[in-house]
Amino acid sequence: MDKSEFKAMWERMQKDGYFEQHAHYQEVDSSLVRHVDDEMDRTLASLDYSSDDLKLPFPYSVELERSIKRTEPIWLKKLFAIPASGLAIDVGCGYGRTIRWLCNSFDHVIGFDVSASAIEKARENFAMHDNVELLVSEADGFPPEIGPNSADFVYAFTVFQHIPREFTARYVRDAADRLKAGGLFVFNLISEINEELDTGDVGVEWAIGYSRDSARALVESSGLAVERVARWRADGAPASWIWVAARK
Ligand SMILES: C[S@@+](CC[C@H](N)C(=O)[O-])C[C@H]1O[C@@H](n2cnc3c(N)ncnc32)[C@H](O)[C@@H]1O
């Protein structure tokens, strides 16, 4: 699929209510651990994340997907040494779920997404935040407004499983270009499923998988140094998750 077809596909999916209808995005909008009293949130928030091969203490479920998103600001900082100042870039930011907490620690946050309608909604959500900038991207690269050597942290959560490998490779190279020396790039991939797949049906989100070795190779081809690759598994999950941190 060429990049303009791909962009049109996501625009259609967003206009059809992708986030409003997606089971994984219900009850997670604030990301501020509103459900901190729930056992699953409390457990995920207090887990030891030092293992590079972690079995989550819950079977796979939609509730687990939601709880992982709600507790993201807590476990992400346990997994990696996330910077807390300067510029953060959120790749494939959607409505800005992650930006809600990023904008409390970083001086400046830039979120971008291939979908203009998702960015329109994100701009409404952050209209009162003068440290948040939202941009529409092409399907295979950072917007040109973001200059080289400018970012302290680049993040992409649940984006690269949905896009062709070639576009992902360009995103990783762009992250390497936009990071400052010493800056950190963190992203996740899915694994142990569709590790040969590179595309899918039109109108559905795809699930393109990577092995730990192909994840490392992806980073190394960009010139970044792999800092950590961690795998999460859950009983009954259709795939495992891979977490990658790469340093410039
Ligand atoms: C599963 S959602 C994740 C949204 C957000 N990262 C979060 O965790 O809440 C994937 C997002 O990536 C965007 N997206 C898909 N392909 C993209 C691409 N090639 N470049 C940039 N964004 C893309 C979609 O429009 C959608 O908002």
| 92 closest CA partner among 156, 145, 44, 47 | 156
Mean pLDDT of all residues belonging to the chain: 93
Residue 169 domain flag: yes
Domain hosting 199: range is 3-17+83-247
Residue 149 domain flag: yes
The mean pLDDT of 204-219, rounded to a whole number, is 95
The pLDDT tens digits of the residues spanning 49-81 come to 999 999 999 999 998 999 999 899 999 999 999
Cα–Cα distance between 132 and 108 in angstroms, integer?
6
What pLDDT was estimated at residue 120?
Answer: 97
Count of the separate structural domains present in the chain: 1
Residue 135 domain flag: yes
Residue 9 domain flag: yes
Residue 45 domain flag: no
Confidence of residue 27 (pLDDT cuts 50, 70, 90): low
Query: 225 pLDDT exceeds 50?
Result: yes
Ligand 1 atom with the shortest distance to the CA of 22:
1
Which residue has a Cα nearest atom 13 of ligand 1? Answer: 92
Cα–Cα distance between 203 and 105 in angstroms, integer?
36
The pLDDT tens digits of the residues spanning 150-182 come to 999 999 999 999 999 999 999 999 999 999 999
Residue 38 domain flag: no
What pLDDT was estimated at residue 34?
Answer: 55
The mean pLDDT of 208-213, rounded to a whole number, is 97
48: CB partners within 8 A, 6+ apart: none
**Strand 87-91, strand 151-156: pairing:** parallel
Choose which residue among 162, 189, 198 to substitute to test ligand 1 binding: the one with the highest number of ligand atoms within 8 A of its C-beta. Answer: 162
Cα–Cα distance between 80 and 86 in angstroms, integer?
17
Tell me the CA distances in angstroms from 71 to 27, 36, 78, 123, 179, one per residue in order. 12, 8, 11, 23, 26
Cα–Cα distance between 43 and 208 in angstroms, integer?
29
Query: 36 pLDDT exceeds 70?
Result: no
| pTM of the predicted model as reported, rounded to 2 decimal places | 0.96
Give me the helices (H) in the chain, please.
Answer: 3-15, 18-21, 39-46, 62-70, 72-79, 99-105, 116-125, 165-178, 212-220
Residue 28 domain flag: no
CATH code: domain of residue 140: 3.40.50.150
Which of 1-5, 32-36, 108-112, 133-137 shows the lowest mean pLDDT across its residues? 32-36
237 C-alpha to center of ligand 1: Å?
A: 21
Taking CB atoms and a 6 Å cutoff, what residues make up the pocket around ligand 1?
10, 14, 92-94, 97-98, 113-115, 118, 137, 139, 157-159, 162-163, 167
Residue 186 domain flag: yes
